C-alpha cells in the first residue's frame, strides 16, 4: 500500500473533518479510495468520510484492507506536514507509516495500528425531502450567535428561507437567510421542516469546512440531521440525532 497526496496540509485538513467527532476508527482502504464510517463515543452523531482515489497523486494498493487508526494521533502527526511537502501513507509491521518529503528531505513517522475490530457503522436509511445549501462561513457565524444564548439550536427550512432559531434562559437569537441571498444557493422543500440539535456537535461538524465552501443541510422534522460538504478532495457526511422537544 502506498498512498501519496501532493500537499501534506491538504491531507491534514481532510482528516480533521473526522477527528472533530471521532478519535479512533477503521479506515477501509478500497480500490476506489479511502473510507471511514464511525459513531462518536456518545452515539449521538456519525461521520461518513470518503476520499476518492483521484484525490491522491499516487494510489497503489496490493489488496483492500481495514486499518484501525487513532485518528487524533494521526491528525497530530499530519500537523507536522508543511506546504510544498508531499505526504505518503503506507503500512509496515503493524504500523501506519507517514512520510513527508520534498526534494532531498524526508521525515518519517510511525503510528501503531489499533485492534478495534472490523465492524463498520451503517448510515441511517432516511429519505430526505428538504435541504438547503448555505455558505460555511454564514452557518458558522449563525452558530456563534446561538452560542451566546443556548446549548441547543433549532433549524427551520421553509420555501422562502432558512432559519437558525435559538431560545434560552439568557435570551433569544435568530439568524434568517432568505432564498436567493448570496449565502443560500439552493433550497428544496415541500411542506417545510424543523428540528433542534445540540450546538456543540454542530460546531464540531462544520469546524473543518472551508469558509467559502457550500454546506448542504438535509432536514426532516424531529429526525436525524444530515450535513455534507467537500474538503480537499474528500466528501464528508454527518448525521446528528435531534432533541425531541416536549409540548
Of 36, 75, 29, the C-alpha closest to 53 is 29
Tell me: the pLDDT tens digits for 111-155? Answer: 999 987 766 677 888 999 999 999 999 999 999 999 999 999 999
What pLDDT is attached to residue 188?
A: 95
Quickly list H helices, 132-187.
136-147
- List the domain boundaries for the chain: 2-112, 131-240
**β-strand pairing of 95-102 with 24-30:** unpaired
The CATH class of 2-112 is alpha beta
**Which of the four pLDDT bands, split at 50, 70 and 90, describes residue 247?**
very low
Q: Give yes or no for a contact between 14 and 52, defined as CB atoms under 8 angstroms apart.
A: no
- pTM value? 0.92
Mean pLDDT of the chain: 93
For the chain, give the percent of residues with pLDDT over 70: 97
The third-level CATH classification (topology) of the domain covering 131-240 is Proliferating Cell Nuclear Antigen (3.70.10)
Cα atoms in the Cβ-side hemisphere of radius 13 Å centred on 23:
2
Given a cut of 80, is residue 215 above it in pLDDT? yes
Given a cut of 90, is residue 212 above it in pLDDT? no
Copy the grid coordinates of residue 47.
Answer: 461521520
Which residue matches cell numbers 478532495?
233
Amino acid at each position: 500500500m502506498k498512498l501519496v497526496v501532493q500537499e501534506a496540509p491538504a491531507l491534514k485538513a481532510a482528516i480533521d473533518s473526522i477527528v472533530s467527532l471521532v478519535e479512533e476508527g477503521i479506515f477501509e482502504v478500497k480500490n476506489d479510495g479511502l473510507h471511514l464510517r464511525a459513531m462518536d463515543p456518545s452515539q449521538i452523531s456519525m461521520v461518513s468520510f470518503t476520499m476518492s482515489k483521484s484525490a491522491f497523486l499516487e494510489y497503489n494498493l496490493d489488496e483492500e484492507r481495514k486499518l484501525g487508526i487513532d485518528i487524533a494521533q494521526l491528525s497530530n502527526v499530519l500537523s507536522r506536514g508543511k506546504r510544498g511537502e508531499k505526504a505518503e501513507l503506507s503500512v509496515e509491521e503493524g504500523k501506519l507509516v507517514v512520510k513527508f518529503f520534498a526534494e532531498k528531505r524526508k521525515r518519517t513517522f510511525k503510528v501503531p495500528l489499533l485492534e478495534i475490530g472490523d465492524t463498520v457503522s451503517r448510515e441511517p436509511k432516511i429519505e430526505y425531502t428538504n435541504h438547503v445549501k448555505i455558505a460555511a462561513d454564514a452557518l458558522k457565524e449563525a452558530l456563534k450567535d446561538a452560542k451566546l444564548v443556548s446549548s441547543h439550536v433549532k433549524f427551520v427550512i421553509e420555501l422562502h428561507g432558512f432559519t437558525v432559531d435559538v431560545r434560552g434562559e439568557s435570551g433569544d437569537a435568530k439568524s434568517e437567510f432568505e432564498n436567493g441571498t448570496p449565502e443560500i444557493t439552493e433550497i428544496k422543500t415541500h411542506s417545510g421542516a424543523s428540528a433542534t440539535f445540540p450546538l456543540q456537535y454542530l460546531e464540531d461538524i462544520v469546524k473543518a469546512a472551508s469558509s467559502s465552501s457550500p454546506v448542504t443541510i438535509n432536514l426532516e422534522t424531529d429526525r436525524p440531521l444530515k450535513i455534507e460538504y467537500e474538503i480537499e478532495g474528500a466528501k464528508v457526511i454527518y448525521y446528528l440525532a435531534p432533541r425531541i422537544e416536549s409540548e
